[in-house]
Amino acid sequence: MSGPGWIGAPRVAFFGSPEFAVPVLDAVLEQFEVVLVVAQPDKPVGRGLKLTPPPLARHAAALGLSLAQPERLRGNLEFTEVLRQSGADVAVTCAYGKILPASLLQVPRSGFLNTHTSLLPQLRGAAPIQWALIRGLSVTGTTIMQTDPGMDTGPILLQEELPIDPHWTAPELAAALQLQAARLIVQALGTMDALTPVPQDGGTSTHAPMLSKQDGEARWQDGAQAIYDRYRGVFAWPQTTASFAGKRVKLNTIRPLLGEVIGQPGQILEVTPRSVVVACGQGAIELLMVQPESRKPMPAPDWWNGAAATVGARFELSVSAELP
């Protein structure tokens, strides 16, 4: 990172898109001049496929901030000039969702700072919040790093841990990390000339790839805790689903039962007035609220009664059950 190169507070270009980035932008605005906001383009949403701006773009427009939504960055000389003309001393990225070409990283005199919601080099990639939960981590955190052309490989400027509540879902963990990310990026922008970049140890890195629908499939061969951790991680999307008698069922509310259980993975062991108990690789999962195809959410025993099945019947095993 080069020296500050300005007198007073830095002028900031802010790159982001989802709701997660909105309070982070607001925190930056409280102490710094944001000369440009960059978000992803509007996208079709809903059954009517209405073009809808991402949350950060909508928020920036409401505040009257200068806004750009380039379709692409690589080779986009027009946008590169927009960034240059903004006069930004430094750029901040927060869940922007696009790879930044090396040529763009050189435009602000002090480069780009990225707010990444993991303790890098752990969980590099698009979905660190979700994979922290899926992998059953008890601690995650936020890293402020200097962006380089790699995927979350740049040197670390600030880093802070955040304990994970064992029952948090992805939206709840995201809410806690929002506050941490907002505070740390403001700290980094205010002390840039005093920060020492620390290279990452790539040999210890792990990855957090973008989620797919298959990541939401209940893997009954796994232990109860692992199934519950996956449920927490995919809670917002794609949600936990299972197949019973050829039909998909969303598992809206579940909890793990960790004792010894006799039964085959996916087998219904017991139906109580408030739950349906399903065996898994170790322990069992208690289904509390479920949602059958084309139906509203309902208590699991109501679904069971409508399915007209018997104790001992089994959910189908996911084809993804053997995948990492």
pLDDT, tens digit only, all 324 positions of the chain: 444 445 568 999 999 999 999 999 999 999 999 999 999 999 988 888 889 999 999 999 999 999 999 999 999 999 999 999 999 999 999 999 999 999 999 999 999 999 999 999 999 999 999 999 999 999 999 999 999 999 999 999 999 999 999 999 999 999 999 999 999 999 999 999 899 999 999 999 999 999 999 999 999 999 999 999 999 999 999 999 999 999 999 999 999 998 888 999 999 999 999 999 999 999 999 999 999 998 999 999 999 999 878 899 999 998 664 443
For 213-307, the fitting CATH number among 1.20.200.10, 3.20.20.70, 3.10.25.10, 3.40.50.300 is 3.10.25.10
CA distances for 286 relative to 95, 254, 272, 276, angstroms: 34, 6, 10, 6
Calculate the CA 189 to chain-centre distance: 24
Where in the chain are all domains bearing CATH 3.40.50.170? 11-204
Where in the chain are all domains bearing CATH 3.10.25.10? 213-307
Residue with tokens 């209405």: 50
Q: Is-contact 134 229, C-beta < 8 A?
A: yes
Q: Is-contact 173 163, C-beta < 8 A?
A: no
CA distances for 209 relative to 2, 129, 193, 215, 234, angstroms: 31, 11, 33, 11, 13
Q: Model confidence over 175-202: pLDDT tens digits? A: 999 999 999 999 999 999 899 999 999 9
pLDDT in the model for residue 314: 95
The CA distance from 285 to 277, in Å, is 6
Q: What is the pTM of this model?
A: 0.94
Residue with tokens 């773009």: 57
284-292 vs 298-299, strand pairing mode? antiparallel
Q: Is-contact 133 233, C-beta < 8 A?
A: yes
Calculate the CA 157 to chain-centre distance: 21
pLDDT in the model for residue 167: 97
pLDDT in the model for residue 8: 66
Tokens of 221: 């061969």
What CATH number has the domain spanning 11-204? 3.40.50.170
Calculate the CA 116 to chain-centre distance: 10
